[in-house]
């Protein structure tokens, strides 16, 4: 009699995710084009409810207008908004970019502070944006959770998905700290290429099939 198909235990799922993603994306590139900490901060701010591809199409024109807080602080909100309009939410984002630039000039000598809590006080900069900047600009361990990561963590049985904050805590607890920065990007790339909202329902991609071979029905996930 054949043995029943069993799903992997959580520790086995964690190990398989780490191994698979490292093999697929050994050196995951930062998806947002930038020149330094400041341009990364602005690019991440622009990426809220917008694709990285669209942001990368817009930022060359924005950097031509101003690529540092001193020059950006001198620009009008209207001039900034006209350029970033394709990114969506342009009125709010333009005001935030100008104001945070003014704050950086007035309070931080025109430099982006390498401190998570301080970054979170800047206009338009929430926890996820601040975490991305800490990880990608300063190399500090962080695990920013976006919609891709929030969804996949549920599909792979790594988090209940009650909230983005809970998902971040769960992933930080499960994975080695020295892997957080790469893993954040690796999961994003895997989600886009293999386990997207339309491309996989929790039963189709390599990781989903391997972690849950006994799963018979699509995995419903909670939104971020």
Active site amino acids:
128, 146
Q: Quick check: 221 and 154 in contact, CB under 8 A?
A: yes
Q: CB neighbours of 128 closer than 8 A, spacing ≥ 6? A: 144, 145, 146, 164
Query: Which residues 6+ apart lie within 8 Å of 108 measured at CB?
Result: none
Report, in this order, helix, strand and coil percent for the chain, each rounded to 5: 60, 0, 40
Which residue's structure tokens are 């970033």?
84
What is the rounded distance in angstroms from the CA atom of residue 166 to the CA atom of residue 170? 6
3-state secondary structure of 40: helix
Full 3-state SS string of 80-149: HHHHHHHHCCHHHHHHHHHHHHHHHHHHHCCCCCCCHHHHCCCCCCCHHHHHHHHHHCCCCCCCCCCHHH
Cβ pair 202, 7 in contact under 8 A: no
């Amino acid at each position: 009699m054949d043995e029943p198909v069993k799903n992997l235990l959580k520790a086995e799922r964690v190990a398989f995710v780490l191994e698979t993603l490292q093999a697929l994306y050994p050196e995951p590139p930062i998806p947002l084009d930038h020149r330094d900490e400041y341009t990364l901060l602005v690019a991440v701010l622009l990426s809220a409810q917008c694709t990285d591809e669209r942001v990368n199409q817009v930022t060359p024109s924005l950097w031509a207008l101003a690529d540092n807080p001193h020059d950006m602080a001198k620009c009008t909100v209207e001039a900034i908004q006209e350029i970033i309009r394709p990114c969506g939410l342009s009125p709010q984002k333009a005001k935030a970019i100008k104001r945070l630039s003014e704050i950086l000039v007035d309070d931080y000598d025109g430099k982006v502070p390498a401190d998570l809590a301080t970054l979170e006080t800047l206009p338009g900069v929430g926890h996820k944006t601040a975490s991305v900047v800490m990880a990608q600009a300063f190399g500090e361990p962080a695990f920013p959770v976006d919609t891709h990561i929030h969804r996949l963590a549920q599909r792979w049985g790594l988090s209940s998905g009650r909230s983005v904050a809970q998902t971040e805590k769960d992933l930080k607890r499960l994975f080695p700290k020295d892997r957080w920065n790469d893993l954040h990007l690796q999961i994003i790339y895997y989600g886009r290429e293999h386990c997207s909202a339309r491309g996989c329902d929790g039963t189709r991609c390599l990781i989903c099939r391997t972690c849950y071979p006994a799963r018979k029905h699509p995995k419903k996930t909670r939104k971020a």
